A and B are shown apart, each in its own frame.
Chain A
Amino acid sequence: MAMAAMRREGRRLMVISPTVSLNSTNAVRSPLVSQELSLQGTRSISTQIVRTRMKSVKNIQKITKAMKMVAASKLRGVQVRTEQSRGLWQPFSALLGDIPSMDVKRNIVITVSSDKGLCGGINTTSVKVSKAINRMNSGPEKETKYVILGEKGKVQLMRDSKKDIEVTISEIQKNPLNYTQVSCLADDILKNIEFDALKIVFNKFQSVVQFLPTVATILSPECVDAASETGGKLEGLNSYEIEGGDSKKEILQNLTEFQFSCVMFNAVLENSCSELGARVSAMDSSSRNAGDMLDRLTLAYNRTRQASITTELSEIISGAAALTG
Chain B
Amino acid sequence: MASTGAVTFWRSAGMTYNAYSNICAAIVRNCLKEPYKSEAVTRETVHFTTTNWENGIQGKPVTHEIFK
Which of A162, A175, A187 is close to B45, meaning CB atoms less than 8 Å apart?
Answer: A175
Collect the chain B residues with CB atoms within 8 Å of residue A181's CB: 45-48
Question: Does A180 contact B25, Cβ atoms closer than 8 Å?
Answer: yes
1/0 contact string of A164-192 vs chain B (CB within 8 Å): 01111111101110111101111110111
Q: Do the beta carbons of B2 and A253 come within 8 Å of each other?
A: yes
Interface SS of chain A: helix, strand, loop or mixed?
Answer: helix
A258 lies within 8 A of B21 (CB): yes
Bound Cα distance from A268 to B10, whole angstroms: 27
Residues of chain B lying within 8 A (CB to CB) of residue A165: 53, 56
Classify the secondary structure of B's interface with A. mixed
- Expressed in whole angstroms, the Cα–Cα distance for A258 and B8 within the complex equals 16
Q: A190-B16, A190-B18, A258-B18 are in contact. Are A185 and B48 (CB under 8 A)?
A: yes
Say whether A245 faces chain B, with CB atoms less than 8 Å apart.
yes
Using C-beta atoms within 8 Å of the partner chain, give the interface range for chain B.
Answer: 20 to 34
A247 touches B51 (CB 8 A): no
Q: In the bound complex, do residue A187 and residue B16 qualify as a contact, i.e. CB atoms below 8 Å apart?
A: yes
Query: Which residues, 4 to 54 on B, are CB-close (under 8 Å) to A?
Result: 4-8, 11, 16-19, 21-22, 25-26, 42-53
Collect the chain A residues with CB atoms within 8 Å of residue B46's CB. Answer: 180-181, 184
Which residues of A (133-166) have their CB < 8 Å from a CB of B?
Answer: 162-163, 165-166
| A150–chain B nearest beta-carbon distance, Å | 11
Task: Contact check, B48 vs A257: say whether CB atoms are below 8 A apart.
Answer: no
Provided the pairs A178-B43, A191-B16 are in contact, do residues A169 and B8 lie with their beta carbons within 8 angstroms?
Answer: no
Residue in B11, B53, B63, B66 whose Cβ sees the most chain A Cβ within 10 Å: B53
A249 CA / B58 CA spacing, docked (Å): 36
Distance to closest chain B CB from A29 (angstroms) = 78
CA gap between A192 and B61 in the complex, in Å: 15
Residue of B nearest to A170 (CB): B49
With both chains docked as a complex, state the minimum distance between the C-beta of A232 and any C-beta of chain B, in angstroms: 23
Partner of A183, one of B5, B21, B45, B52: B21
Residue of A nearest to B50 (CB): A169
For this complex, 12 residue pairs linking A to B, each with C-beta atoms less than 8 Å apart, are A166-B52, A167-B50, A169-B49, A170-B49, A170-B61, A179-B43, A183-B21, A183-B22, A187-B19, A246-B8, A253-B2, A257-B17
